[in-house]
Structure 1
């Protein structure tokens, strides 16, 4: 029996969320964030906060709020800087010490914090 033959509560929650009519979506859900990146964010968020229907709603809300606050390009730039700051060695040193990149990270962190307050 495969995973697709054994639906779980998690799968049911995802299917229910996908069944929402387009008219019921918020303006944030219609932003320029690609679906693949939204799903990746929600899955990682749920991995960190627990796999439950409630966290599916909260994590989906959070990426929608972030999308309403900043552009996708700003999101990608901020995430890239944050990830590169975690890489050890000289190749990533410019990301750790560059003051000009702090505005990019600050914009993402601010949107993330605001979304956290709204959704969690």
Structure 2
């Protein structure tokens, strides 16, 4: 491999890493904080819970774009708050079920990695 090819490969590697980091940090700070606070409340509000919950939202962000996270979280909150026929719009559509399943899968993988 000549010097030019090596430099080009190094630059491509750096750009790919930067793109992955940018995608992982596309979650707004408030969304990350909201997740960590809820997670900590469920896990004892300790320093260890803070570390594990922070790791968890980072792992989720690596796997799921923020728009998918936001759709699933909204649907889950609405399912919890809207009962009966009116709640069907947040339970029944296949897109809603897919968004929730994607979030649950990301959460399961984050749990394996961080807890």
Common fold: TM-score over 0.5:
yes
How many aligned positions are there? 95
Q: Which range is displaced more, 79-88 or 39-48?
A: 79-88
Q: Which range is displaced more, 84-93 or 51-60?
A: 84-93
What is the deviation of 1:91? 2.0
Unaligned runs of 5+ in 2: 1-20
Q: Does 2:36 align with 1:47?
A: no
Larger Rg over CA atoms: 2
* Separation in structure 1 between the aligned mates of residue 22 and residue 112 of structure 2, nearest angstrom: 16
Q: Which residue of 1 aligns with 2:77?
A: 83
**TM value normalised by structure 1:** 0.72
* Separation in structure 1 between the aligned mates of residue 107 and residue 22 of structure 2, nearest angstrom: 14
Q: Does 2:59 align with 1:65?
A: yes
Q: By percentage of residues, which structure has more helix?
A: 2
